[in-house]
Structure 1
Amino acid sequence: MSKKIVLAGGSGFLGENLAEFLQTRNYDIVILSRQPYKVEKGIRYIQWDGRSMDEWASELDGSHAVVNFTGKSVNCIYTKKNREEIVSSRIDSVRVLKEAIQSCTRPPQAFIQAGSLAIFGDTALLCDEDSPHGSGFSVEVCQRWEEEFFKEEIPGTRQVLFRIGFALGRNGGALEPLQKLASLNLGGTVGSGKQYISWLHVDDLNAMFLYAIESERFSGIYNATGPQPVTNKEFMKTLRGVMGKGWAPPAPSPFVRLGAYAVMRTEPSLALTGRNCIPARLVEQGFQFAFTSLEEALHDILQPVLQ
């Protein structure tokens, strides 16, 4: 009988990539989503609101693991309302999932939370799991999020939190807007270009989740990123090269701020800040990366599209 994995908030880019990956390894996938009930590609979508107990909670009883991706996208302008929703969507989902797990007769043996490297703020200093946190709204969100997740232990259920970096994959995610800019010969350096991008291939991220699901050695906080972060200038140059594009004009910070607010309707800090993070604990535990070179990762992702 297939083991059941419940992906809360799993209808986005990362969740659907993980669902497909786990299906190929004979797992039964259930996604908790705001969408009405449906079955698509062998995956059951169960409706939930991300904050209150309901019939969805029965899906956790007897499941092998729960992975939580829930949270309002930070790709927005940080109005008071959006800030409140960014915080509440993360805190509420953690709280209600823990409540559901604690009510299970047969609780899942692992609860895995998708977090963010944004907890380190905007820094070029090398950051491992024990590095100091930064400051600002995004940092505060991450701190409250992690505190809620680890506030108390759940008997019989391991708790793992991945601070996820800039995940690269096909058909969506963080790479898509940069790929579009480069295709229009607009993929130049953003801002100073000195801000770091802590990237990883989504295949490596999926492998991390699989290890966390299956290995009892996994517990606590991990930086889920690749071992070779690069600056924005390096990233955009490599992306242009893989796409067969030449030099592109840089986007100075004032233009980025204007474009973010007026055109993209998002916070310019998402493009103008960065962090230089490494996956120290994963390396210590022997995790083997399939992609450590940005150029190789981008070739793998983009070549089927460009051919």
Structure 2
Amino acid sequence: MKKKIVIAGGTGFIGQYFEEKFTNLGYEVIIISRQPHHLFWTDSVGIVDSLEGAEMLINLAGKSVNCRYNEKNKKEILDSRTGTTEILGNALLACKNPPPLWINSSSATIYRHAEDRPMTEASGDIGTGFSVEVAQAWEKSLFDFQLSQTRKVALRIAIVLGEDGGVMEPYLNLVRFGLGGVQGTGNQMFSWIHIEDVFRIILFLQSNEQLNGIFNCSAPQPITNRVFMTQLRKTMNRKIGLPSPKWMLEMGAIFMNTETELILKSRWVIPDRLEKEGFQFTFGTIGEALQQILKSSNKIQ
């Protein structure tokens, strides 16, 4: 019988990458989604059936935070994370032969704005505000489930960089139009990870059966916004990049229907547990990551 993996919320940037990778490894990949041609969230019997005998459940579901934080959107952001996690936990409880590993995404933004020191799983300070509250509720909904046969991992994922989506396109456009200077002070830390390393971390957690709990999913060398924009201009061969002060970003965020927190919050996150367990990153520096992404997508001009 073909080995099987279930990806919940698997139609986005990360989910599509995982689907292709796992399919190439010979897995049957079942996607749970609100999109057509997939298993619907309302199909509780189908979800239990899909999880029976699966090797792993990966939950990436959640409304994009790239929106204005009005009351309607805030409710959808929270409910789309905690609600889906609860559906999956209840489905696992109903399984006779549940997957041995459940990986649930979380967010590196759970830590406070940090320009003074890096945040590890053991010593990081949890922040305050809406985004932090969402990440806390998300993790609580995972760890509240008592599952005797299934390991649970919460991945606190930093900003994911890759070819076909995610945050790269807006940053590339800024550089193309000569606006690729610093955003705000430029001193805010930019914690990032290449999408290939996210996938490799999933395989690492699958094969190391003693691991569970919280893991920071970020590259070992976070950088400042200033260094990130400089490296991006260099990789794209663009010498000029005008800065975007905070007031300009706040005006632009209203027009673009988003929040400045996505750019201005200083995320200084270190993958301490993964490194101590021996995980080796393929893309450890921002230069290596950007070279691969821009070469593969023919964006270097």
TM range (shorter): over 0.9
Q: Distance in 2 between matches of 1:140 and 1:222?
A: 18
Name the amino acid aligned to 1:126: P
Structure 1 unaligned blocks of 5 or more: 38-44
The equivalences for 1:56-205 within 5 A come to 56-124=47-115, 125-130=117-122, 131-205=124-198
| 1:25 aligned residue | 25
* Per-residue deviation, 1:54: 4.4
Q: RMSD value over aligned CA atoms?
A: 1.3
Q: CA contact under 8 A between 2:47 and 2:91: conserved in structure 1?
A: no
The equivalences for 1:276-287 within 5 A come to 276-287=268-279
Q: CA contact under 8 A between 1:48 and 1:54: conserved in structure 2?
A: no
Q: Distance in 1 between matches of 2:11 and 2:48?
A: 18
Q: CA contact under 8 A between 1:168 and 1:201: conserved in structure 2?
A: yes
Q: CA contact under 8 A between 2:219 and 2:285: conserved in structure 1?
A: no
CA gap of 1:237–1:58, structure 2 versus 1, over 3 A, is: same
Identity, in percent, stands at 39
SS in 2 for 1:153: coil
Which one is further off, 204-213 or 7-16?
204-213
Q: Distance in 2 between matches of 1:213 and 1:18?
A: 14
Q: Distance in 2 between matches of 1:26 and 1:211?
A: 17
* Per-residue deviation, 1:48: 2.2
Establish whether residue 292 from structure 1 lines up as the match of residue 290 from structure 2: no
| 2:212 aligned residue | 219
Q: CA contact under 8 A between 2:112 and 2:125: conserved in structure 1?
A: no
* Superposed CA offset, 1:160-205 (max 9, x none): 1110011110010121210121122221110111111111111111
Q: Distance in 2 between matches of 1:186 and 1:172?
A: 20
| Equivalent residue in structure 2 for 1:255, among 242, 245, 248 | 248
Establish whether residue 275 from structure 1 lines up as the match of residue 254 from structure 2: no
Q: Distance in 1 between matches of 2:262 and 2:285?
A: 23
Structure 2 unaligned blocks of 5 or more: none
The equivalences for 1:37-52 within 5 A come to 37=37, 45-49=38-42
> Structure 1-normalised TM-score?
0.94
| 1:6 aligned residue | 6
Q: Distance in 1 between matches of 2:299 and 2:150?
A: 44
> Structure 2-normalised TM-score?
0.95
* Per-residue deviation, 1:274: 2.1
Q: Distance in 2 between matches of 1:270 and 1:166?
A: 9
* Per-residue deviation, 1:105: 1.2
| Equivalent residue in structure 2 for 1:236, among 205, 229, 233 | 229
Bigger share in strand: 1
Name the amino acid aligned to 1:97: L
Q: Distance in 2 between matches of 1:177 and 1:57?
A: 38
Name the amino acid aligned to 2:52: D
Which one is further off, 73-82 or 52-61?
52-61
* Superposed CA offset, 1:103-140 (max 9, x none): 01111111100110010032122100121201111111
Q: Distance in 1 between matches of 2:192 and 2:183?
A: 16
Q: Distance in 2 between matches of 1:306 and 1:138?
A: 32
Q: State how many pairs are aligned.
A: 297
